[in-house]
Amino acid sequence: MPRVDLFTPVHKGLRAALCDTLGRVGSTGFGDPAQVRLAVRSVRTLLGLLDEHGLLEERFLVPVLSRLDAALGAELSAGHRRLETLQHTLALRLVEVEDAAGEARAEAGRRLGQDLCELGAESLRHMLTEEREANALLHAHLEDADLRALERGMLQALPPRRLAGWMGWILPALGAGERASALAALREALPGEALADVTEAARQALGSARWQATRLAAGL
């Protein structure tokens, strides 16, 4: 029986959003206002996810990890601070892209692509450290029931509209078994009526056949 994994499924969703945004920004012609609007929206969505992700990990997971291994806790916190700085740089670059015109906008767009790559590289490395080292530490010291309680806390800390955005990225990014487990955990954390709203974007992305299969496998 696989252990509860508080990092990898969420990170798969984040990686999907990151790759989508990298593709979108890379293919944007910065002379076309409509394309620029789509690219800016994509980067803002990604930044919203990354900001929330860092805050949730700092609030719910880093304190537990720091008690078990102070050095790893400090390393992960330092990683979150580096990511915050890169996220802030990217947010400023977005404003530059929006405010500029002509050649200056093309140049700001080129820099936006580079800043996004830098953030992506740092984020990928950081997430892998969590998936390998933080998971190993949690699995060595905590029971699955304790990990589920932490997971519920994080799910319930997000407003439903934000959680829906997350699920729109996470659920389609998972394999079938992981997706069913994630849906079952979501069901446990949320009252019945909220679940439909929170899974709406995921249902759209998955299509009805995969969604029905996921529901059945999750016992819903």
Minimum distance, C-beta of residue 80 to Fe ion, in the bound complex (Å)? 6
- Nearest residue relative to Fe ion (C-beta): 57
| H/E run at residue 116 | helix 102-129
Task: Please identify, using beta-carbon distances, which residue of 14 and 180 lies nearer to Fe ion.
Answer: 14
Residues 6+ apart with CB under 8 A from 74: 66
Residues 6+ apart with CB under 8 A from 147: 3, 4, 6, 138
Minimum distance, C-beta of residue 77 to Fe ion, in the bound complex (Å)? 9
Where on the chain is the footprint of Fe ion (CB under 5 A)?
A: 57
Residues 6+ apart with CB under 8 A from 173: 9, 12, 13, 15, 16
Task: Please identify, using beta-carbon distances, which residue of 57 and 151 lies nearer to Fe ion.
Answer: 57
Q: How far is residue 119 from each of residues 32, 97, 123, 178, 211, measured CA to CA in Å?
A: 25, 17, 6, 27, 32
Minimum distance, C-beta of residue 132 to Fe ion, in the bound complex (Å)? 12
Task: Please identify, using beta-carbon distances, which residue of 36 and 76 lies nearer to Fe ion.
Answer: 76
Helix axes 33-56, 8-26, angle to 10 degrees: 160
**End-to-end CA, the chain:** 21
Task: Please identify, using beta-carbon distances, which residue of 57 and 115 lies nearer to Fe ion.
Answer: 57
Minimum distance, C-beta of residue 4 to Fe ion, in the bound complex (Å)? 17
Task: Please identify, using beta-carbon distances, which residue of 5 and 57 lies nearer to Fe ion.
Answer: 57
Minimum distance, C-beta of residue 64 to Fe ion, in the bound complex (Å)? 13
